[in-house]
Amino acid sequence: MIFNPIDLDTWSRKPYFDHYVNNVRCTYSMTANIDITRPLEATKKKGIKLYPALIHMITTVVNRHREFRTCLDSRNRLGYWDSMSPSFTIFHDDDKTFSSVWTPYCEDYKEFYRRYLDDMEKYGSVKQFAAKTNEPPNTFPVSSIPWVSFTGFNLNVYTEGTYFLPIFTMGKYFKQDEKILLPLSVQLHHAVCDGYHAGLMFNELQSRADTCKEWLPN
């Protein structure tokens, strides 16, 4: 993993970054339904899990755009990671708690799925907030609330408003007009992402779902 510092003096986004950090510190959330009819059918047919496929979809889109990988490093420098990996929640049904597990990203889904299954075997039953320790700094959070088909979701992150990475939350998928729809919310920071970038994210996620046969293993 490589962190690339941004030269604020030559960065074209500097006026916007300064405004949404120094004048109006601003985060926002957007929720939309993703049509996951094809991924759901494909994973059921192949006998593989849907959750890691959705995580991989999200991570692939995050890694396509620098805006979604921009953050502060341990030295408080603004920059972006060359690649990101997901840190996702798992639910413990017996005591209704959850844990966080991170899996190194790989563009090849077959390899990512193997890593996911390996992590779940090792850490899936560990009852700690961070079931898998030593999480690297180039991760972003993904969680799921599979009991509610929400129409909106908002997080309040108290880090002095300088958490710039996207935060994803999935809801309960539901059927509408012969389609299976997944509510997906993303929390973004206006200093690094505008409405255009949010729209780009959701459109590319839908495209990724529509073309799942091209990347899911045969």
Tokens of 103: 């899996």
CA distance 53 to 205: 12
CA distance 89 to 87: 7
Burial of 44 (0-12, 13-18, 19+ CB in 10 A): exposed
Which residues, 6 or more positions from 38, have their beta carbon under 8 angstroms from its beta carbon? 209, 210, 212, 213
CB 81 within 8 A of CB 203: no
Catalytic residue among 65, 189, 190, 197, which? Answer: 190
Would residue 190 show up in a list of annotated catalytic residues for this protein? yes
How is residue 22 annotated by DSSP?
Answer: I
CB 195 within 8 A of CB 49: no
CB 88 within 8 A of CB 100: yes
Of residues 88, 79, 29, the one with CA closest to residue 57: 88
CA angle, residues 21, 86, 215, in degrees to nearest 5: 120
Q: Which residues are catalytic?
A: 190
